[in-house]
């Protein structure tokens, strides 16, 4: 059931995230998928703060508190709460450093873009511990998912 829910959220968020971009010409994309519920998120890529204390609720697909960003051309487009915010491009090589803070819990990761340019971030229940404890999980995919 959890896998089906994650897949459904993945398809929904990917459709929103990639509907406004040139699909063949993007450097990378970060999509926050399921299980965020009134969580406060900050995101830095290569030490550049892009998202600072955004509140995300995406357990309900009707609400507009979703968050995704895509770097293409000379800019980064951040899609949040039904709006589009544009920031300057961050120079990247094949490996990028990502710092994600969810509710004041920091997670640092290195992403090799040769393994996939789409980065999915989930805030899921930790199976080994109490159902109230969540962990950040990261997944990379090669190409965006498009629903027709």
pLDDT tens per residue across all 148 residues of the chain: 556 555 556 555 555 555 554 445 889 999 998 788 889 999 999 999 999 999 998 876 656 668 999 999 899 999 998 889 999 999 988 899 999 999 999 999 999 999 999 999 988 876 666 666 788 888 888 876 553 3
CA-to-CA dists, residue 138 to 21, 51, 64, 89, 147, angstroms = 22, 17, 22, 22, 22
Residue 92 lies in a domain: yes
Q: Is residue 13 part of a domain?
A: yes
Determine the pLDDT at residue 112. 94
Query: What pTM was estimated for this model as a whole?
Result: 0.75
147 within a domain of the structure (yes/no): no
Q: Is residue 102 in a domain?
A: yes
**Domains held by the chain: number:** 1
For residue 138, give both structure tokens: 């990261």
Inter-CA distances, 60 with 8, 35, 52, 103, 145, Å:
11, 9, 22, 19, 20
Q: What is the chain's length?
A: 148
Its domain, for residue 105, covers: 2-141
For residue 146, being part of any structural domain is answered with no
Residue 135: both structure tokens together: 């962990």
Say if 108 falls within a structural domain: yes
């Amino acid at each position: 059931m959890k896998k089906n829910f994650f897949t459904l959220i993945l398809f929904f968020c990917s459709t929103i995230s990639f509907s406004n971009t040139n699909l063949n010409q993007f450097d990378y994309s970060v999509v926050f998928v399921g299980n965020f519920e009134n969580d406060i998120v900050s995101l830095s890529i290569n030490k550049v703060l892009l998202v600072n204390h955004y509140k995300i609720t995406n357990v309900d697909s009707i609400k507009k508190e979703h968050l995704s960003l895509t770097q293409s051309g000379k800019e980064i487009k951040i899609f949040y709460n039904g709006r589009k915010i544009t920031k300057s491009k961050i120079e990247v090589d094949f490996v990028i450093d990502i710092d994600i803070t969810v509710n004041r819990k920091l997670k640092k990761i290195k992403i090799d873009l040769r393994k996939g340019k789409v980065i999915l971030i989930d805030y899921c229940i930790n199976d080994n511990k109490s159902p109230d404890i969540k962990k950040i999980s990261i997944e990379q995919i090669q190409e965006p998912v498009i629903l027709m």
